[in-house]
Amino acid sequence: MVKLIGAVFIIVATTVIGFEASRHLSDRPQQLRSLRSALQSLEAEIMYGHTPLHEAARRLSAQLSKPLSNFFDSFAKKLTDTETTVNEAWETSLREVWKSTALKKGEFEIMKQFGETLGRHDRFSQQKHIMLTLSHLEREEANAIQAQMKYEKMVKSLGFLSGLLLIILLF
Amino acid sequence: MGLEVDIIFKIAGVGIVVAFLHTVLDQVGKKEYAQWVTLFGFIYILFQVASIVDDLFQKIKSVFLFQ
């Protein structure tokens, strides 16, 4: 009886791990897509709205969904509340939020480099930098979608099967 | 005798699960991992079978050579 309960625990745990990993894989393209739409809105705010950066960031955080909205929220807060440069505020809020997203190192570097250009140039060079970042993110998104298609099913069945194997070995 | 049947089922179970793992890993192109999984499954079963065969030989020895 106790053995059976233990077996159920093991299989539930490994299955949950598998599903969690596959959720991570499917979250990544989605978050990349919303990141791209965020940058597009930022471009519109800068080019056509002439909005100040902290105001634009606040609007973006209202538009976006959870992990990325936190990023723009903390960015806006840092810009208004503390004595700091745009680059620093961007990078520190990027670091704060990055742990809670499904995004990886490559995207982090892209966003960090974008933060270094933010607010330094006139509107048209800023637009060009946004375009560059968007194209980089698009490439990452294509990679992420490919990885998702390839590994999502595998991770799920791997979790379940490894649990099953563990039970048989320990029984 | 009960123990023997148990062990046969265990071996069969390991075989099925390892075969599934091999197919899944093979399909996504992780051939090297698939081969490692199969190899480890094989080694584990080999140990089990070796200990059972050892038991058998001990039994034969005790029946025929030493009273």
What crossing angle do the helices spanning B2-27 and B31-64 adopt, rounded to 10°? 160
Full pLDDT tens readout for chain B, 67 residues: 556 788 888 889 999 999 999 998 888 888 899 999 999 999 999 998 999 999 999 988 888 876 5
Chain B: nearest CA to A163, how far in angstroms?
A: 10
* Residue A150 contacts B where some CB pair is shorter than 8 Å: yes
Domain limits at A132? Answer: 2-170
Chain A: nearest CA to B58, how far in angstroms?
A: 25
A128-156: pLDDT as tens digits: 888 898 998 899 899 889 888 888 888 88
CB A164 within 8 A of CB A11: yes
A57-116: pLDDT as tens digits: 888 888 888 888 888 888 888 888 888 888 888 888 888 888 888 788 888 888 888 888
Tell me the ipTM for this assembly.
0.74
Residues of B in contact with A162 (CB under 8 A): 21
Record the pTM. Answer: 0.74
- Please tell me the total count of domains within chain A: 1
